[in-house]
Structure 1
Amino acid sequence: MNKKNRAFLKWAGGKFSLTEQINQRLPKGRRLIEPFVGAASVFLNSDFDEYLLNDINPDLIEMYKIIKRKPKQFIIDAKYYFQDKFNDETTYYELRAEFNASDDFYKRSLLFLYMNRHGYNGLCRYNQSGGFNVPFGRYKKPYFPEKELLFFAEKAKKATFTCKSYQKLFQHLRDDDVIYCDPPYVPLSKSASFTCYASCGFTLEDQANLAQLARESKCCVLLSNHDTPVTQALYHDAQCDQVLVSRTISSKSSTRLPAAEIFALFSAG
């Protein structure tokens, strides 16, 4: 694919800069399964006949389903929140509270995109009660990603979206499936881990369980993670190689130093 396609979401840990390296390592197959789809950069920049895109975050998945079903209406309604009057700290916190109090998936989807573009540094974070708690971002003029939304909606015709645990994605696989896993990364240090992307954490036990599922899978599984002694031990029997990437989560650009990431490919068992 010549032209790279950006996700319509800002996303800490997004894979836009690594899509070429990921595509080089993904085996051939008919369907790509992503248990941790996030902002969907790999989906947007790969070429499979079918996609099964999953995430544990129901706000993310419901929004994707809505955009697939009625993209033009979603764009019209979402654009409303990108007027200058909404780029205000007080208004942001009022709308964040409205989001947390609402059980209407369509309303939550509109505000999810609004908060993603107006909140701090592309973070998606919830407190222990399940409330979205990312602070206001103070951007001069947040970008409304209309063309990115339209591209996503068109390509989403090839995709099925699910909100399940990662374990369930490994239970009903076809021989021509390929799996790409981009789980919450093993922290580089105790202070490096930012709180919860969804309303539950991803523990070291989960990291080990995911590696075991990949090892036992009937399909090829490619995993990304930080390159640490922990991940080297977890992926010891996979085909592994390392890449250096820039960090994007740190608030100070001077501390966004390159970090080593590991790709681990488990061949079909």
Structure 2
Amino acid sequence: MNYTFLKWAGGKRWFVNNESHRFPLRYNRYIEPFLGGGAVFFYLQPQNAILSDINKELIDTYVAVKNEVDAVYRNLKIHQRKHSRDYYYTIRDRKTRTMATSAARMIYLNKACFNGIYRVNSQGKFNVPFGTGREVSFEQENLLQSSEILQNAMILCQDFQATIDMAQQDDFLFCDPPYAVVNEDARFVSYTADIFSWNDQVRLAAALERAKERNVKIIMTNVDHPAVRALYENIDGFTLDTVSRSCFISGNKEGRKAYSELIVTANI
């Protein structure tokens, strides 16, 4: 059962469906520093987890679903009843006053926007256009189950390096960073380069090397780019693999094709 309540660009539902054999069978804590839609977390349903992201609106939404799920659902039902193109833009421009209404706003916009993309402008305002005139619906039982699974998680808004540095021996660290590379092609970069730079890729590699030395179990997915591969391929203890996956985020057919993805593991 899929208990993710957000569709996220670059999400890892494909990884769960095709690469779940890579997950370790035993580990202490599950740690994820780039939470996004949380597909891997909701698939594994770990008994002890640390989840984080630098996106405060995203993290506040998870906290609200964990702690105030009934209030979130009540607001989602209002959005479901009033859904239309005009209503979508009204909600997109509206400021919210409580964590529950903010979470419901984000979940609704994510459901109703074009391609489920999270993107903000230079003022930090969500600016994805309306996506569907069809009815939107929200399953109460699924949201309640998501809330139940989140009860076992510490949810933090912080830089990925701080979260990775929390990982200790036999913890399982799953990293799915935004894809930014040196000499980027157009893939993914238009909505990630401003929040995840090449310097961040270098910081990530250094943090993962330190975690590897602490005997943390690591799986990282990343863009299969020579510059990214070079950060890991000459370090003892990292195993590099590539898989092919489809990308459906692009607004044109040319962008919707299969891509090679890099998987880096250690201590698995």
Whole-Å separation in 2 of the counterparts to 1:109 and 1:259: 32
Contact 1:220 1:266 in 2 (8 A): yes
Q: Is residue 180–residue 189 contact of structure 2 (8 Å, CA) maintained in 1?
A: no
Which stretch of structure 1 is more off in the superposition, 118-127 or 247-256? Answer: 247-256
Which of 12, 17, 33 is residue 15 of structure 1 equivalent to? 12
Deviation track 1:149-186 (CA, whole Å, cap 9, x = no partner) reads 12211111211111100011133333231110000013
Matched, 1:138 2:132: yes
The answer to whether the 8 Å contact 1:78/1:110 transfers is yes
Offset at 1:81? 0.2
**Are the aligned partners of 1:5 and 1:44 in contact in 2 as well (CA < 8 Å)?**
yes
Q: Alpha-carbon deviations, 1:220-247, whole Å to 9, x = none? A: 2211012121221122132011111110
Residue in structure 2 matched with residue 251 of structure 1 by the alignment: 251
1:139-158 superposed matches below 5 A:
139-158=133-152
Matched, 1:86 2:86: no
User: Given that residues 246 and 259 in structure 1 are in contact (C-alpha distance below 8 angstroms), is that contact kept between their aligned partners in structure 2?
Assistant: yes
Identity rate, percent? 30
Counting only pairs closer than 5 Å after superposition, residues 28-47 of structure 1 correspond to structure 2 as 28-47=26-45
SS of equivalent to 1:261: strand
CA deviation vs aligned residue, 1:167-221 (integer Å, no higher than 9, x gap): 11133333231110000013694322354469x5100110111011101111122
Between 1:49-58 and 1:229-238, the stretch displaced more is 229-238
CA distance in 2, matches of 1:10, 1:20: 15
Does the CA-based 8 Å contact 1:23-1:46 persist in structure 2?
Answer: no
Give the structure-1-normalised TM-score. 0.88
Letter in 2 for 1:61: I
Once the 2 structures are TM-superposed, how far is the Cα of residue 131 of structure 1 from its aligned partner? 1.0
Residue 8 of structure 2 contacts residue 118 of structure 2 at CA under 8 Å; is this kept in 1?
A: yes
Of residues 230, 234, 237, the one that matches 2:231 is 234
Aligned residues of 1:9 and 1:39 also touching (Cα < 8 A): yes
Look up the equivalent residue of 1:114 and give its one-letter code.
Y
Which of 133, 144, 163 aligns to 1:169? It is 163
The residue aligned with 1:204 is 198
Structure 2 Cα separation of the partners of residues 233 and 137 of structure 1: 39
What do you get for the CA RMSD once the two structures are aligned? 2.2
Residue of structure 2 in register with 1:193 after alignment: 188
Contact 2:55 2:157 in 1 (8 A): yes
Structure 1, unmatched stretches of 5+, are none
What's the CA shift for 1:20?
4.6
Residue 103 and residue 211 in structure 1: after superposition, are their counterparts in 2 closer, same or farther (change >3 A)?
Answer: farther
Deviation of 1:148 (Å): 2.6
* 1:69 counterpart = 2:67: yes
SS state at 2:221 partner: strand
**Letter of the structure 1 residue corresponding to residue 61 of structure 2:** M
- Counterpart of 1:95 in structure 2 is 91
Hey, what does 1:26 align to over in structure 2?
23
Q: Which residue of 1 aligns with 2:49?
A: 51
Contact kept, 8 Å, 1:37 with 1:55, in 2: the verdict is yes
Alpha-carbon shift at residue 118 of structure 1 (Å): 0.9
